[in-house]
Amino acid sequence: MSRAFVKEDDAGRWEAPVVFAYQVRQVGENEVLHQGDDLVELLHWLEGQQHGGYELRERGGLLLAATPG
């Protein structure tokens, strides 16, 4: 095997980073409050929140939904 494909600096097996398709944040904040790949589940999560001021964005940053705050 070519040495270009061997990672020797870590004892564990390499795993791809987890990237979710959708993220929920508070309006104006960078901290992700909830994330996932199921759009319907995230919309239900938003619906169940007592306070407003949330936004649902896709991975590229496009705003999909927002709750009034």
CB of 48 within 8 A of CB of 22?
no
What is the reported pTM?
0.69
- For the segment 35-57, what is each residue's pLDDT rounded down to a tens digit? 999 999 999 999 898 888 999 99
**pLDDT computed for residue 55 by the predictor:** 95
**pLDDT computed for residue 25 by the predictor:** 94
- For the segment 1-39, what is each residue's pLDDT rounded down to a tens digit? 555 666 566 667 777 778 899 999 999 898 999 999 999
Name 23's bridge partners.
35, 57
**pLDDT computed for residue 13 by the predictor:** 78
Query: How far is 24 from 32, CA to CA, in rounded Å?
Result: 6
Query: How far is 10 from 27, CA to CA, in rounded Å?
Result: 39
Mean pLDDT for the stretch of residues 57-62: 92
